């Protein structure tokens, strides 16, 4: 098995990372492989399933051309400054360029201790590895920018948490792992030179359309991508759960699926993370937190700006931060218009949208099923599967919605098709994810995991035989919290 690595981050100054070796494990076994992504990146899926492939996944065997490094970064965790974090349980083994010229990091997560591990063991339990796999791949299928999962293997070793759990490693693929926290790290060291290198590198890698760009260009572009990213989360009911600045990638991809979850019934206060006691990262707070993170980003960038230009920078940066809520609002409302089958968003559509959200909150309506329910009835009065039936409380609103639709020229069929790709039937509901993980971790039984993965990778295609996967949890099935699982 040969892969052509083309490592660029490892050529940056030595203080950007530490050279590390993954720590070998006893008995690696591949448990899941992403065939499509493997093909895209030039990996042989059947090799990844083989013994040799398992050795690669866990880091026992490095491929030629691999230059394993752990990246350094800092960050604000739950608002508190942490001067040094870094890849404490992950190793970047190399970068690959796909057929379309897109560059990706290939990272092993859970591959052992690094200089950034602090008290941690550098390992990952199987449950969180499988959770990240499911949610990341579901996000990708839903069209949300995200890191991907290439493969996972168990290590044959136990990791000790509240109890002893099977260990595993995830092969994570990302456009890069450069975080807001990476900039914060160098800023906190007063290392203007490193910031300059990092700004140039990041612009070149993620924003090549910006020629001879500056820190201000980078801030502006990152803010744009964050606004669209968080709008997409909101439009699908996704709650990240740990929006710390070290978990915000400047590429605009979603990263670090720890205590994340999708909302069932619509309630902006929804929090899943067991460690988020004050609801800092609740669903409804995500746009505000993204803005807060961008302010930290701007402050970090400023350290790299020449003294005499700082005042200008500050003024422009403030403008970028100030306009973020409006940027988000536009992205959210335009997305909402698409969800409701409108050809475009008009300002006077907002009251209709607001009323729908209010109605959903009052009726504790399932977020996903409500929009899919509207999709099912948009092309007439036909029968819909029972789970998509909307309660009578929506009748009056539906009348108003239909009036609005009649102002557009699209046919019912076109509308139906447009809405069906905005409003999924299947999302990774927490109770389903928990059940799949439970079978795998407790029984070594992956059937539920694989079925769920299959369902989630075609989220817009409702299939009757998978009805149970579209349903919200019954009261006794609810899983109200997720754990970081570090
Ligand atoms: P996360 O909560 O996954 O975003 O991680 C926050 C920080 O803790 C990062 O620097 C991680 O590398 C580090 N970390 C998390 N879990 C472990 C672990 N088991 N061993 C070492 N470091 C860890
Ligand atoms: Mg993290």
Q: pLDDT (tens digit, 0 to 9) for every residue of the chain, 486 residues total?
A: 899 999 999 999 999 999 999 999 999 999 999 999 999 999 999 999 999 999 999 999 999 999 999 999 999 999 999 999 999 999 999 999 999 999 999 999 999 999 999 999 999 999 999 999 999 999 999 999 999 999 999 999 999 999 999 999 999 999 999 999 999 999 999 999 999 999 999 999 999 999 899 999 999 999 999 999 999 999 999 999 999 999 999 999 999 999 999 999 999 999 988 889 889 999 999 999 999 999 999 999 999 999 999 999 999 999 999 999 999 999 999 999 999 999 999 999 999 999 999 999 999 999 999 999 999 999 987 789 999 999 999 999 999 999 999 999 999 999 999 999 999 999 999 999 999 999 999 999 999 999 999 999 999 999 999 999 999 999 999 988 876 555
Are 174 and 251 spatial neighbours (Cβ–Cβ below 8 Å)?
yes
Q: Which of 139, 174, 209 is the last residue of a domain?
A: 174
Q: Which ligand is nearest to the CA of 132?
A: 1
Q: Is the CB of 128 under 6 A from ligand 1?
A: no
- Per-state percent for the chain, helix, strand, coil, to nearest 5: 50, 15, 40
First to last CA, the chain: 32
Q: Whose CA is nearest to atom 11 of ligand 1?
A: 88
Q: Best substitution site from 76, 89, 247 to test ligand 1's pocket, by max atoms within 8 Å of Cβ? A: 89
Whose tokens are 């490094």? That residue is 69
Give the span between the Cα atoms of 392 and 395, in whole angstroms: 5
Q: Is the CB of 88 under 6 A from ligand 1?
A: yes
Q: Which of 174, 199, 226 is the last residue of a domain?
A: 174
Q: Element (H or E) spanning 221, and its range? A: helix 215-236
Q: Whose CA is nearest to atom 14 of ligand 1?
A: 88
> From ligand 2's centre to the CA of 246, what distance in Å?
6
Total number of domains in the chain: 2
Check residue 484 and give its pLDDT. Answer: 54
Q: Is the CB of 291 under 6 A from ligand 1?
A: no
Q: Is the CB of 327 under 6 A from ligand 1?
A: no
Give Cα 481 distance to the centre of its chain.
18
78 domain-assigned: yes
> Which of ligand 1's atoms lies nearest the C-alpha of 247?
4
Check residue 444 and give its pLDDT. Answer: 97
Whose tokens are 């990152």? That residue is 222
> Judging by beta carbons within 10 Å of its beta carbon (0-12, 13-18, 19+), is residue 87 exposed, middle or buried?
buried
> From ligand 2's centre to the CA of 359, what distance in Å?
36
What pTM, to 2 d.p., does this model score? 0.97
Give the span between the Cα atoms of 412 and 406, in whole angstroms: 10
245 domain-assigned: no
427 domain-assigned: no
The two structure tokens encoding residue 164: 């002893």
Question: Which are the contacts of 327, defined by CB distance < 8 A and separation ≥ 6?
Answer: 223, 224, 227
* Residue 246 falls in the annotated catalytic set: yes
The two structure tokens encoding residue 389: 């039936």
> Which of ligand 1's atoms lies nearest the C-alpha of 246?
4
Give the span between the Cα atoms of 429 and 359, in whole angstroms: 22
What backbone torsions phi and psi does residue 14 show, to the nearest 5 degrees? -55, -30
277 domain-assigned: no
445 domain-assigned: no
Check residue 382 and give its pLDDT. Answer: 78
156 domain-assigned: yes
> From ligand 1's centre to the CA of 124, what distance in Å?
9
Q: Which of 127, 150, 174 is the last residue of a domain?
A: 174
246, 256, 276, 366: the active-site residue: 246
> Which of ligand 1's atoms lies nearest the C-alpha of 124?
19
Give the closest residue to 353 by CA, choosing from 424, 410, 401, 286.
Answer: 401
219 domain-assigned: no
143 domain-assigned: yes
Are 473 and 264 spatial neighbours (Cβ–Cβ below 8 Å)?
yes
CA distances from 430 to 230, 233, 357, 423, 461 (A): 20, 16, 22, 18, 20
The two structure tokens encoding residue 453: 């993965």
The single-letter DSSP state of residue 437 is H
Length of the chain: 486
At CA 457, angle to CA 452 and CA 458, rounded to 5? 105
Q: Which ligand is nearest to the CA of 484?
A: 1
Give Cα 155 distance to the centre of its chain.
25
Range of the domain at 72: 9-174
What backbone torsions phi and psi does residue 316 show, to the nearest 5 degrees? -70, -40
């Amino acid at each position: 098995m040969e892969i052509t690595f083309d490592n660029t981050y490892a050529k940056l100054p030595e203080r950007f990372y530490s050279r590390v070796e993954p720590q070998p494990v006893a008995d690696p076994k591949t448990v899941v492989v992403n065939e499509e992504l493997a093909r895209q990146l030039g990996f042989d899926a059947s090799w990844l399933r083989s013994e040799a492939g398992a050795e690669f996944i866990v880091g026992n065997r490095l491929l030629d051309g691999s230059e394993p490094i752990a990246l350094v970064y800092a960050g604000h965790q739950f608002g508190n400054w942490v001067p040094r974090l870094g890849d404490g349980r992950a190793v970047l083994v190399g970068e690959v360029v796909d057929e379309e010229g897109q560059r990706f990091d290939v990272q092993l997560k859970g591959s052992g201790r690094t200089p950034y591990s602090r008290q941690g063991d550098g390992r990952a339990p199987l449950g969180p590895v499988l959770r990240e796999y499911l949610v990341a791949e579901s996000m990708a299928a839903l069209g949300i920018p995200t890191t991907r999962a290439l493969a996972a293997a168990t290590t044959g070793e136990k990791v000790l948490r509240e109890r002893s759990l099977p260990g595993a490693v995830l092969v994570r693929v990302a456009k890069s792992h450069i975080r807001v926290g990476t900039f914060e790290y160098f800023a906190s060291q007063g290392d203007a030179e490193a910031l300059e290198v990092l700004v140039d590198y990041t612009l070149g890698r993620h924003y090549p359309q910006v020629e001879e760009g500056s820190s201000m260009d980078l801030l502006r572009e990152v803010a744009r991508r964050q606004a669209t990213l968080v709008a997409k989360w909101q439009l699908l009911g996704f709650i990240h759960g740990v929006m710390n600045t070290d978990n915000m990638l400047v590429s605009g991809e979603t990263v670090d699926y720890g205590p994340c979850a999708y909302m069932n019934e619509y309630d902006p206060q929804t929090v899943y993370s067991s460690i988020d006691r004050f609801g800092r990262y609740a669903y409804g707070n995500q746009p505000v937190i993204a803005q807060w993170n961008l302010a930290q980003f701007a402050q970090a960038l400023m350290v790299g700006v020449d003294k005499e230009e700082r005042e200008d920078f500050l003024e422009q940066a403030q403008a970028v931060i100030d306009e973020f809520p409006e940027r988000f609002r536009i992205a959210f409302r335009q997305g909402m218009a698409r969800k409701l089958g409108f050809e475009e968003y008009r300002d006077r559509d907002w009251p209709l949208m607001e009323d729908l959200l209010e109605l959903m909150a009052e009726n504790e309506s399932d977020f996903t099923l409500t929009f899919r329910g509207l999709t099912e009835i948009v092309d007439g009065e036909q029968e819909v599967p029972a789970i998509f039936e909307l309660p009578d409380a929506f009748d009056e609103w539906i009348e108003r919605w239909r009036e609005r639709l009649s102002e557009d020229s699209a046919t019912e069929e076109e509308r139906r098709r447009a809405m069906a790709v905005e409003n999924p039937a299947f999302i990774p509901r927490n109770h389903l994810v928990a059940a799949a993980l439970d079978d795998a971790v407790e029984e070594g039984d992956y059937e539920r995991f694989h079925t769920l993965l299959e369902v989630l990778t075609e989220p817009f295609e409702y299939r009757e035989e998978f009805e149970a996967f579209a349903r919200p949890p019954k009261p006794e099935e609810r899983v109200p919290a997720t754990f970081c699982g570090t």
